RNA sequence: UGACCUGUGGUGUAAUUGGCAACACGUCUGACUCUGGAUCAGAAGAGUCCAGGUUCGAGCCCUGGCAGGUCAACCA
């Protein structure tokens, strides 16, 4: 079962696409139906930019009581793989959307597309061109200079039919000829200058195998697939704006009713510090700069999921950024805010120590322990509480102790008293060092009367530390992820974007101690390690070696507070 | 110098038929906290790319500029 609910806490803003659809509905267009589609090419994994498109397409259908299809745009067998098809379906479902029984492939329509091409030839609207790519390209002219007509443009219908059948039968080599629509070589729109609609490709297709050796081009396939699937609003990104006249031209040739899909373009998502180009992401994977498409540093949906981002937070993010035709760049902090916002409400709190310093409570009996109550989530009382074991030997965060504290340092130092959260007040008496002068452990005493964290005499303490019982703690590996690129717009750099890779994007902390509660964790369960950030258990964890990924740190005003003094 | 598209605080979006430019993130204050980067309270920050015009009144309408983007793959 797929969770199809979308967080509606804030009323979704109407955008220009909604306005257009309402207009169409008012005019009774297409029988007042609303039917969208999400049409990825299965040539890579989906990323956060696709998430925007998915939320948009499915969101519109939900808003207008319509339907959304999933369609794989698989017209180029040389780039497409079944692995990608599967990951895409998985990611769309995980995001919380359901295409029900409406799964399509452009390749489902290969025969109809071919028939349509034959129809165009018969109507004198398409011809076979025997020239090679360079010649065709040079005849195409430039945006400011009209193109010239191919010498093969006025072949007879019979000859074109014969040649196209031979192309289809595999009698010609790749690149030796193509089928072109006969439109207008002088059009100010380059896409109308007799666009290529079929090319010869003797490649194995992931679904149709070796059945075909001619494949339709995007422009020839997309609008017709929309038409045959009954799509009413075909939403795509801005770069297809100039293709729209061609989209309409093909659909006009197909027309046998009043029904007409409408292409609407919106601005694709750009995020600061984030590479979104599929080609570059593929390069990062292929050259081993990351450990696969689902590496937690990747902006892919599978990477974000593994990193601990929730589907709900991605949907909320997508609502928040809106939909326009303005080509902008969104600050990643907005995405991170969306995750924190959701995780803050839902994440289980757990104490943990990433950089341990041993503390011995000298007046606590040896071989004894007790269990203290701890709140699971102060944001949500219904999450209840848990027991945290306390004993003579503990770990605290190394940063929480300073031997010679500056004035405003209120945490542990020799002679000061602090609270151990949910436990007792403790005072540091001794600092134990090794031969190099490194601090190896602290000796403290506790006040048994302060059990639970309050002292009966009402004395206050200036800091509260988180801690973990050494004997009971779960030792685990924690991986801190940072942004993969140091440059604000690495996507802007074509060839040299790798030079901006952040060498510290992955920091592995092999010996961290977490309270025993995390033994119950399953992959993808998320936690807030008090004061350290949000984490989730990774897929490649084992019971012997649990691995936690940091989803996102908490915002850093606490550190600022310290720097003030 | 062709076609198409876009221009509102640092960023992203709003603004009914023209009516005091609103919201969120970010930033900065202060308060409260048995973690907090949470929460609460508050502040700064744009006069809407420019110039004209219509109007009592223009971010919205008109005219002319300017700036940016997309398009010349047998990719999608």
Task: Give the ipTM of the model, two decimals please.
Answer: 0.94
Reduced to 3 states (helix: H, G, I; strand: E, B; else coil), residue A422 is: coil
Q: Which nucleotide is nearest to A133 (CA to C1')?
A: B74
Rounded to whole angstroms, how far apart are CA atoms A182 and A170?
23
Q: What is the pLDDT along chain A (565 residues), one digit of tens a residue?
A: 222 233 333 346 789 999 999 999 999 999 999 999 999 999 999 999 999 999 999 999 999 999 999 999 999 999 999 999 999 999 999 999 999 999 999 999 999 999 999 999 999 999 999 999 999 999 999 999 999 999 999 999 999 999 999 999 999 999 999 999 999 999 999 999 999 999 999 999 999 999 999 999 999 999 999 999 999 999 999 999 999 999 999 999 987 788 999 999 999 999 999 999 999 999 999 999 999 999 999 999 999 999 999 999 999 999 999 999 999 999 999 999 999 999 999 999 999 999 999 999 999 999 999 999 999 998 888 899 999 999 999 999 998 999 988 877 888 999 999 999 999 999 999 999 999 999 999 999 999 999 988 888 888 888 899 999 999 999 999 999 999 999 999 998 888 899 999 999 999 999 999 999 999 899 999 999 988 899 999 988 888 889 999 999 888 655 555 544 3
- Inter-residue contact A430 to A440 (CB < 8 Å): no
Note the CA–C1' distance, A215 to B48, in angstroms: 49
Rounded to whole angstroms, how far apart are CA atoms A126 and A144?
25
Note the CA–C1' distance, A450 to B5, in angstroms: 68
Q: Which residues of A are catalytic?
A: 41, 268, 278
**Strands annotated E in A217-285:** 233-237, 262-266
Half-sphere exposure of A94 (CA within 13 A, CB side): 24
pLDDT of residue A5: 30
Residue A63: phi and psi, rounded to 5, are -65, -40
pLDDT of residue A169: 98
Strand order in the sheet with A103-105: A35-38, A67-72, A103-105
Do the bridges between strand A214-216 and strand A196-200 make them parallel or antiparallel, or are there none, so unpaired?
antiparallel
Q: Which nucleotide is nearest to A347 (CA to C1')?
A: B38
Nucleotide B72: closest residue by CA–C1': A142
Note the CA–C1' distance, A437 to B21, in angstroms: 63
Structure tokens at A527: 């936690």
DSSP A501: B
End-to-end Cα spacing for chain A: 54
Q: How far is CA A539 from CA A85, A305, A388, A500, A525, in A?
A: 21, 10, 26, 28, 10
Could you write out the DSSP letters of every residue in A302-327? Answer: HHHHHHT--HHHHHHHHHHH---S--
Q: Which residues of A261-275 are buried (b: 16+ CB within 10 A; e: fewer)?
A: bbbbbbbebebbbbb
Rounded to whole angstroms, how far apart are CA atoms A175 and A53?
34
Rounded to whole angstroms, how far apart are CA atoms A279 and A295?
16
Note the CA–C1' distance, A16 to B54, in angstroms: 27
Q: Which nucleotides of B are covered by protein (CB under 7 A)?
A: 1-8, 10-15, 24-28, 34-39, 68-76
Return the CA Rg of chain A: 31
Nucleotide B68: closest residue by CA–C1': A327
Nucleotide B76: closest residue by CA–C1': A218
- Inter-residue contact A294 to A302 (CB < 8 Å): yes
């Amino acid at each position: 079962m797929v969770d199809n609910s979308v967080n509606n806490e804030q009323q979704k803003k109407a955008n220009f696409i909604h306005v257009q659809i309402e207009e169409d509905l008012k005019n009774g267009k297409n029988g007042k139906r609303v039917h969208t589609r999400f049409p990825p090419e299965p040539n890579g994994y989906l990323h956060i930019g696709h998430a925007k498109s998915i939320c948009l397409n499915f969101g519109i259908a939900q808003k207008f009581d319509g339907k959304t299809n999933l369609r794989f745009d698989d017209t180029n067998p040389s780039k497409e793989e079944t692995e990608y098809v599967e990951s895409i379906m998985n990611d769309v479902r995980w995001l919380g959307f359901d295409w029900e029984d409406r799964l399509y492939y452009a390749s489902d329509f290969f025969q109809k597309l071919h028939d349509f091409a034959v129809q165009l030839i018969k109507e004198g609207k398409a011809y076979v061109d025997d020239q090679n790519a360079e010649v065709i390209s040079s005849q195409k002219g430039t945006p400011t200079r009209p193109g010239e007509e191919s010498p093969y443009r006025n072949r007879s219908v019979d000859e074109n039919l014969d040649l196209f059948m031979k192309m289809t039968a595999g009698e010609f080599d790749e690149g030796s000829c193509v089928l072109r629509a006969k439109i207008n070589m002088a059009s100010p729109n380059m896409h109308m200058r007799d666009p290529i609609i079929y090319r010869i490709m003797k490649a194995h297709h992931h679904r149709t195998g070796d059945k075909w050796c001619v494949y339709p081009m995007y422009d020839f396939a997309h609008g017709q697939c929309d038409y045959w699937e009954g799509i009413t609003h075909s939403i795509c990104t801005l770069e297809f704006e100039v293709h729209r006249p061609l989209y309409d031209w093909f659909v006009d040739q197909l027309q046998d009713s009043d029904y007409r899909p409408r292409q609407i373009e919106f601005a694709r998502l750009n995020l600061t510090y984030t590479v979104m180009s599929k080609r570059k992401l593929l390069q990062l994977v292929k050259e081993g700069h990351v450990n696969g498409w689902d590496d937690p540093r990747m902006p892919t949906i599978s990477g974000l999921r593994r990193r601990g981002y929730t589907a709900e937070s991605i949907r909320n993010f997508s609502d928040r950024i809106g939909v326009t035709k303005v080509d902008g760049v969104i600050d990643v902090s907005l995405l991170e805010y969306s995750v924190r916002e959701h995780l803050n409400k839902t994440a289980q709190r757990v104490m943990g120590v990433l950089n341990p310093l041993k503390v011995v409570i000298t007046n606590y009996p040896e071989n004894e322990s007790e269990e203290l109550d701890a709140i699971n989530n102060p944001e949500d009382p219904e999450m209840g509480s848990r027991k945290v074991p306390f004993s003579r030997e503990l770990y605290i965060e190394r940063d929480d102790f300073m031997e010679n504290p500056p004035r405003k340092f209120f945490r542990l130092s020799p002679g000061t008293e602090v609270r151990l959260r949910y436990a007792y007040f403790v005072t540091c008496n001794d600092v134990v060092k090794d031969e190099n002068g490194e601090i190896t452990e602290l000796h403290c005493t506790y006040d048994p009367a302060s059990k639970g964290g309050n002292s009966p005499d009402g004395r206050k303490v200036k800091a509260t530390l988180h801690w973990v019982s050494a004997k009971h703690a779960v030792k685990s590996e924690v991986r801190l992820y940072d942004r993969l690129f140091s440059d604000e717009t690495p996507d802007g750099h074509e060839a040299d974007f790798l030079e901006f890779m952040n060498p510290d994007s992955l920091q592995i902390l092999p010996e961290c101690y977490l309270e025993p509660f995390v033994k119950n964790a399953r992959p993808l369960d998320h936690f807030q390690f008090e004061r350290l950030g949000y984490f989730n258990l990774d897929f490649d964890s084992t019971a012997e070696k649990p691995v936690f990924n940091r989803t996102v740190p908490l915002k850093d005003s606490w550190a600022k507070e310290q720097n003030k003094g």
